[in-house]
Structure 1
Amino acid sequence: MRSYRRFPLLVPVLLCALAVLAARPTEEPRHGPHQAGGGGVGAEVARLYEEAAVAAQEYEEGRREAELQRSRAQRYEELLERERREAAVLREDLGRIARAQYRTGGDVPITARLILTDDPEELMHGQHAVWQADLAVNNAIGKSSRAQARLAEDEEKAEAAWKALEKRNTELVELKQRIERKLERARGRLQGQANDSAAAGTCRGAVRLDRPKAVRVSLPPPWVAPVETYEMSAEFGSGGSHWARRHTGQDFAVPIGTPVRAVGEGTVMKVSCGGAFGIQILIAHPEGYYTHYAHLASVAVDQGDRVGPGQWIGQAGTTGNSTGPHLHFEVRVTPQLGSGVDPVPWLAARGVHL
């Protein structure tokens, strides 16, 4: 059986699979009134996160398309193999007819055979059957030959399309790796700036992180998780050497620079730097609760700003008393530390299941 890469019906589908990378979102950061310079790194990290996500999505789409084509290729190859077997049977039939003609005087002109035969009617009947069979087989062989010629041409096109698809997927892998390397360097610069701010106890000011239009929704849910993709780590109430008594929130392990979202509608009560929580944001919500976001690398809001559910308010980091990149998230009944409730059931009661 021939390689599954070679069959004619894949050509148009394969050519459609070679999509061009989507346009990248751009950021135009606006700095808060106390901007100390260098805040553009946060916007760069956010942009690189989006580019990496787009590249990863397009690579996955290309990989799935390739798997689909392989499955189709196997089915089409089975059909082609059946056609080849049918053509072989036709050729064998033609050979039997040729041998029969030879044995019955097929090399003698039909006029001479009519003169010599004792039963001309039977001879003509047999000859007519031979002519019909011969014509049918010749037509089948001609059709098979034309089909083989088309197959050879389409195989060449299909092979070229497969190579183009594989090249495109390779390019997407390389693009994603380049973006990730740039992202890693930008994350390092962002965390360096965050450490300086936390050590000085002075925030750099808000670096506006405008969400790309491609991921905006017209009617966002009233409550969301504080980060989109995460791994839950230290739980509310757990013990550890890093906390005076018990852990006062829920930790989400995420890379430096991950966009942090307001979980619901509210007003920014406080943006501060330094201390055990490093760079932190406190938001007051209409129903009397407060949410706290700590160990950030940057902030995207100022005190007094109104925020909506899912709005980017900052970027995760590892400032303050932190052992690694993560978001420390609290839900409080008052603005003060120590009034926290378990964030997991609190969010679950609002339709957000972590």
Structure 2
Amino acid sequence: MPSFLLSSTFVPLLLGAVAVNPAWSATSGGGNGAASDGADTGLSGRVARLYADSAAVTRQYDTGRQEAAKQRAIAGRDEKLLTHEHGLIAALHQDLGRVARAQYRQGGGLPYSAQTLLPDSAKELIASQGTLARLDLAVANAVIRSRLTEAGLAAEGAQASARWRALQKRNGELVARKQALEAKLEQARWALQSQANVSAASGACRSAVRLDLPGRKTEHPWVAPVEAYRLSAGFGSGGDHWSHGHTGQDFAVPIGTPVRAVGSGQVVRVKCGGAFGMEVVIRHPGGYCTQYAHLAAVTVDPGDRVRTGQLIAQSGTTGNSTGPHLHFEVRSTPEWGSGIDPVPWLAAHGVRLVRPSATR
């Protein structure tokens, strides 16, 4: 029997206003070439803010869709239980009718149903008006209990249906909100990429863009360089855009995707121009270096100490690139030509990359 206790704490919270990140500040760093202008700094911050807001709305939509499905299932279950209760109540009413008719025919004696169901010894014990009254009361009480169950199921089902309709409406609003954010983000991404192309063409990087982003805490000493991706060209693969085998692992991601240090270390190179476009190289304890290339913006300067998961850049498509992606290398030195396959190297450090079929 359902208890009719449906938690409603989550739904009002979900139906509240969409929380977005507050206005994030962005200031230029120094010591990395020409001074960064305000347009570039503000544009990087705008891309980062829109990127995070879009991701937040997506998470809210996914949560709301799951909750809507849950409320729809509750309403469907209650509808089935109500049908069962209606049948039970109809049967109890038939029992009451049979008892009443039997009492009438027997002149108030033992009802016919009791005569046919009970042994002779039991018939003799309960063949009195008081016992008949108790039998009638028992059936009547069963009807009342079933009616209460019916009312509870109807109320719970109505509440679940109302919540489902409210969630569906809110999810529609979230879809519209995400579409608007994505349109703004797409414009900001390509504006950022245009400025990055100018830097890559001139070979002079702007100073690091210091984005005041929320920190990403991790208990792991190593992480993937981007959080959502599709693996594309792998280490050693052939292609028209490199003369020998591919020297890294490509992560297909949109322009402006946050790029993070896979482990703690020190920035040893920030460079613009050439085949890699805008790039960052970090040396880690133990001597290995990691390279992040084809970037649209950089948030660190040479000599900076970075921690695992720290934002170091925004992805792009500068240099010898066929489209937006992050080119990631693991090297035994900071220089090109000393690369090793990043996938098993990351796996050996506890980071298993997700294959294309499991990513967006």
Verify same fold: TM over 0.5.
yes
* Residue of structure 2 aligned with 1:69, choices 44, 68, 71: 71
* Residue of structure 2 aligned with 1:189, choices 170, 188, 191: 191
How much identity, in percent, do the aligned residues show? 57
Instruction: Give the secondary structure class of the aligned counterpart of 2:209.
Output: coil
1:176-199 residue CA offsets vs partner (Å, 9 max, x unmatched): 222222221211111111112212
- Judged with a 3 Å threshold, the aligned counterparts in structure 2 of structure 1 residues 148 and 308 are, in CA distance, closer, same or farther, namely closer
User: Using the alignment, how far apart are the partners of 2:127 and 2:249 within structure 1?
Assistant: 94
Q: Which amino acid aligns with 2:180?
A: R
User: Using the alignment, how far apart are the partners of 1:157 and 1:69 within structure 2?
Assistant: 9
Say yes or no: does 1:333 pair with 2:332. yes
Residue in structure 2 matched with residue 307 of structure 1 by the alignment: 306
User: Using the alignment, how far apart are the partners of 2:166 and 2:51 within structure 1?
Assistant: 27
Q: TM-score, normalised by structure 1?
A: 0.82
Q: Which amino acid aligns with 1:254?
A: V
User: Using the alignment, how far apart are the partners of 2:198 and 2:93 within structure 1?
Assistant: 84
User: Using the alignment, how far apart are the partners of 2:173 and 2:87 within structure 1?
Assistant: 40
CA contact (8 A) 2:261 2:307 kept: yes
**Unaligned segments of structure 2, at least 5 residues:** 109-123, 354-360
Residue in structure 1 matched with residue 10 of structure 2 by the alignment: 16
Say yes or no: does 1:32 pair with 2:26. no
Give the superposed CA RMSD: 2.8
User: Using the alignment, how far apart are the partners of 2:156 and 2:346 within structure 1?
Assistant: 57
- Judged with a 3 Å threshold, the aligned counterparts in structure 2 of structure 1 residues 195 and 98 are, in CA distance, closer, same or farther, namely same
- Judged with a 3 Å threshold, the aligned counterparts in structure 2 of structure 1 residues 302 and 138 are, in CA distance, closer, same or farther, namely same
- Judged with a 3 Å threshold, the aligned counterparts in structure 2 of structure 1 residues 332 and 149 are, in CA distance, closer, same or farther, namely closer
Aligned residues: 328
User: Using the alignment, how far apart are the partners of 2:25 and 2:102 within structure 1?
Assistant: 86
CA contact (8 A) 1:8 1:154 kept: no
Task: Output aligned runs, 1:235-314, within 5 Å.
Answer: 235-314=234-313
- Judged with a 3 Å threshold, the aligned counterparts in structure 2 of structure 1 residues 228 and 153 are, in CA distance, closer, same or farther, namely closer
1:4-31 residue CA offsets vs partner (Å, 9 max, x unmatched): xxx9937x33563342344525421121
CA contact (8 A) 1:253 1:325 kept: yes
Q: Which amino acid aligns with 2:351?
A: V
Residue in structure 1 matched with residue 233 of structure 2 by the alignment: 234
Q: Which amino acid aligns with 2:24?
A: E
User: Using the alignment, how far apart are the partners of 1:242 and 1:277 within structure 2?
Assistant: 11
Residue in structure 1 matched with residue 180 of structure 2 by the alignment: 178
Q: TM-score, normalised by structure 2?
A: 0.80
* Residue of structure 1 aligned with 2:95, choices 93, 96, 117: 93
Instruction: Give the secondary structure class of the aligned counterpart of 1:208.
Output: strand
User: Using the alignment, how far apart are the partners of 2:151 and 2:334 within structure 1?
Assistant: 79
**TM-superposed deviation, 1:50:** 1.7
- Judged with a 3 Å threshold, the aligned counterparts in structure 2 of structure 1 residues 104 and 258 are, in CA distance, closer, same or farther, namely same
**TM-superposed deviation, 1:35:** 0.9
Residue in structure 1 matched with residue 111 of structure 2 by the alignment: none
CA contact (8 A) 1:14 1:162 kept: no
1:95-127 residue CA offsets vs partner (Å, 9 max, x unmatched): 223333554568xxxxxxxxxxxxxxx9x9554
Instruction: Give the secondary structure class of the aligned counterpart of 2:44.
Output: helix
User: Using the alignment, how far apart are the partners of 1:53 and 1:65 within structure 2?
Assistant: 18
Instruction: Give the secondary structure class of the aligned counterpart of 2:28.
Output: coil
